[in-house]
Structure 1
Amino acid sequence: MTMGVTGKASPPTVRGTILAVDDEPDILVALEDLFEDEYRVITTSRPAEALELIAAEPDIDVILSDQRMPGLTGDALLARAREISDAQSILLTGYADISAVVSALNRGGITGYITKPWDPALLRNAVRSAYERHRLARELATERALLRGLLDHSGDAIAFKDTDGRFLRLNARMAERLGAPSIEACLGRTEAALLGADAEAAEAADRAAIESGAPTEITAAGGGPEAGQTRESWNQVTRVPIRDPAGAVVHLAVIERDITEQRLLERRLRQADKMQALGTLAGGVAHDFNNLLTAILGSLELALPKVAGDARLTRLMTNAAQAAQRGAALTKRLLTFSHRRDLQARVVDLNAVILGMDDLLGRSLGGFVQVERALSDDVWPVKVDPDQLELAILNLCINGRDAMPEGGVVALATRNETVRASSDPNLKPGDYAVIAIRDTGTGIPPEILGRVFEPFFTTKGVGQGTGLGLAMVFGLVQQSGGTIRIESEVGHGTTVLLYLPRSHEAVEAGPVAASTPVPAPRRARILVVDDDPQVRHVTASFLNGFGYDETAVPSGEAALERLETARFDLVVADLAMPGMSGIDLAEAVRGRWPALPFLLVTGHAEAVRIPPDFSVLEKPFLSADLAARVAALLAPEG
């Protein structure tokens, strides 16, 4: 027995591999000499060892085997080799072994036989042809495996058609889209035979792609009849003409990809961008509105004592002040929506917040609406502004009441939910406490559902709604790190879900209301800085009424000039001023007169955050608010 591997050191992927089996060593040496320049040659003189080599060497392309060998004949060897290898087989036999050749053809699947003694050129050609057949068979098998893997495992619907539109190959996803029970039920049939008139547009697109000879891509609404689909959906359909060697289009590949989630995500992102733009607009409007309200409320408060003897005029001015205060409440909603109002967030128990609203909900919803609660005992704490959360819940309950003109049920529930993945960009993975507010009302039509968070959008009649309720709720949950979802069906009510991130801190006790500070009895010199002349006049008039000596200037630069030439005990400055802002002025004052108290007055929170150690008073304010802040800052411990 001899065994050897000969040949040059070329990679196996370039040179084919031949296994030669013969019990005569001289024959093996001759075969090595004949083929070693073109192939990698493995030899053995034992049939049993040949089977071991075949099992261990999956890259063998051609097996050359002698017929007459001790222990196992060539035809039997090749029959067993065929069970474990796809290599091509050639039998080497003498003139008297025709019966062995017939047996090898039947049992071993040989592709040819060569008689001994062989003609070298004839043997070379036989091996070369066998090698080429084996290589092409493997390439075809690889392509078939790749195609089958693509068809079986792709999430896309894939099909191959002839130029008449008949299906030649398709995957289960495409058969499902066509509403067929199986892949086999589609083969040889056209899309029109399976879908009827619904296939007209698809077949027209197929013909256009075949005629143009170029790939096409379109986005189509709807996803076919699968499972009685009624939801809004989109498919991206790619058609690729396939040409024969002569260049003629003979087949068409069709790939359909469901891009519904992508489209919905794009829609949500566009909505988020729109909300951000509207929020910026709302913040700017609120800033100017707060300045006007400060001047209106302050002027009315200053004027009321002067008309104390005139009951009718007092009543009119009081009505005007109350209207201005309602405007201030509306402005706060705008600022919450625009993310520009700092929330007074603390860790709260959602169940306690909801249970504490019993009286408020009873008075607001009236006797025709029943309030039900299903509160989870172990609901997680959240960090949120409880006052704003109460306002949000109240708004949603009132919306539910308005959707039930004949009465009904508003149900409030809490639960815990862990989000592991979400297509909503506003809902990140994590733990959330969820508040669900459900009504049994008329529901919201789909064409309106996408607009309900837009500020000033309302379906209520003139004078019955501002369109800011849901916008305010949206702003609150966004600022708190959560999101809001609405599920609604016309005629079957609406459910609003508020997702608030779980807090791992302990629940905080509510703030204790402090008594209103009394203005400092000593006289003090106060510098008032505001670019709005009306607000500046009101603020200075309030301070003068408290008994302080006030000086008013219109800018930060003018304030610094006054501070250089006169002594003051306090500076009261607007935050948003052209040129030098209130924060710029406050930092300049701290740098040069660090002991001088400073009060910032703002109509909204600016993009630049106010340092937490700055004292801030929000517009619009009443005289009592200003008096308390000034007294606290002028007190020795202030």
Structure 2
Amino acid sequence: MQNDVTALNNHFDAFLEHCGDLLIYVDLKFKIVMINSTAEVILNMSKNEVIGQNLFEICKCNQMELSFTEEDLERSKKLKSEFVDGYIIYSQGQRRVMLWKQIFVNNQQKSYGYFLIFGKDVSLLENSKKKDSILTSACLNNVIIENLPEYIYWKDLSFTYCGCNKHVSDYLGLSSPKDIVGRTDRDFGWPEDRVETLYKIDKKIIETGIPSIVEDIIPRPDKSERIMLSSKTPLRDDNNNIIGIVGVSVDITAEKEAERLRLEVELNKTKLHEQEKFRKNANQVAHDIRSPLTSLAIIAESCKHIPEADRITLRKIAASIGDIANNLSTRYKPDDPQTHTAGQIVQLIPVSLALSEILSEKKYQYKHSSVKFVYFCEKDANFAFIKVEPIEFKRMISNLVNNAVEAFEGKTCKVDLELKLDDKFVEIIIKDNGKGIPKDILDKIMCNIPVTSGKKDGSGIGLTQVCDTLQRNHGKLSIDSKIGKGAKITLAFPKVETPVWIAEKIKLNKGDTIVVLDDDESIHHAWEARLEPYKSDLKLKHFTSGKGTIDFINASVAKDKIFLLSDFELINQDLNGLQVIEQTSMYESSILVTSHYADQSVHNLAIRVGIKILPKQLASEVPIEIEENRSVSGDFKKVGLVIIDDNELLVDSLVDFFQNKDVVVDAYYKPKNFLDRLSQYAKDTKICM
């Protein structure tokens, strides 16, 4: 019912405003649903005042008398509607002579009905000789029918059209309304199933006397279609006998299209929501995979008693699992149009982890080919960083690997990806044993001339992107190629200082208690294996609960002999690793071990409180140093500025400003947090409060 009423409301405004006579639309409780502007003038009340009010009660409140009552409206449910003389008497005694007609429309199928009240002001015609001819029902009906914007038509008992208004004749391509007389629904070239449906609807109305409201798609002569809300009701004679059918159709095509678009938008929102949900699940699965993967990698490196062949097998298994995790993370990242254009913000990236991620993608991309990928990273290069546009960097490496694979033209091949480090540069080497790059193509590449010969030459037009990216990011390119033996491409980027938030090493003291907090049991086994060589110098304590960790550390009498290795994300707990560190004040003696190392928000949180991050993927590679005593006065933290302020917005703005100027900044929102870490700063450290 609600949809039909809404549809009627949407079109009734136009119906009302195109008619020069008073029109009022009330529900079964006589509450006004809509009036036209003529009714506003005659009743001397606005739409806002009357809509939702009982017609008779509001007239009474305004000392206005109508010549008809609620009972008259109720009788219109059973009797034929006719125009009758009447009046409106105003509060000052003025009288307006009216011609009234009440029509009841009932839709039993939808269980609702309403009254239409027509009123024509005939005060000026009361004493005119033309009154009788002008006030006839036929005359008024013709005026109303021709001035309404709706499509109106009527049929006799044989379902033959007896008339229509001009809107219908124009829609059907007829010269005038008279041309419809004598025709049936079969005469307009409509499909047989449509004609049969219309026949059944009309027949039921004739037999039962019950009106019908349906949505109807009506074809036009030009093969186009419009969606109509069609209301059909019995046509009766003076004796209340059914003599035909009258139909009124309202064009709701625009509304239906708007509804379709709304539903389409809602569907797209639902799809996007599901995609986002799936992406989060994929990332969570990747995260969950990395914890046992880290354990496997650490154990494979630490357990020297395992035969070399078995350790190689374990490393291969770990690499395969890592490929799965990296592929999940990268494949379902949200697509940002801005990342497809050059000139992105330059960022520090851990090269070894970026290359590992790219190589994982390539293994999946070429998993059905005969290519073999080999990755080698010098031990000192595991924590090497470069400053580049991250998306363009990954595209560049991807293009070069693709070119190396395509140089084999489908044959069995091997592609080596190496990461090396010297005093000034980080070198990325991509080698293949393919057919090599022809000298003319090589000369073009080295002279930065766009290569247009395509993939068939083993280089491909992707090298244009490579050269552009290197130029913008201060990189260098060198190529060593021999026809028939392969090519070696070396990319060199300036080495940059490892960011302050990265834990390049774990520095411990003899006698320390190492507290491991992680909700994954396999990580605890991995750390046991990793710290096995130092078991005579260290104690190990395991926790899966953040609260349990806090209670243990804060209750310890030798808190200065505790070192905390904490995961960031603690599943189904109200705490994360950073909060545990803050609540135990373990800023100087803790490291956040997490696979969320690339999350900028995690970076910012760690930087704010001065905590270092160790990517879980590098837990098996990080050097561990055991000292006799923890330094008290030496090894001061190297920072350019310390900011202390409880205005977080101001602090964050200042940190972003100085970091863009390559100034290392520590920031604190609470003075207590700074005081807890005061000893790590040299006396000449600049402090802004």
TM-score of the superposition, structure 1-length normalised? Answer: 0.44
TM-score of the superposition, structure 2-length normalised? Answer: 0.41
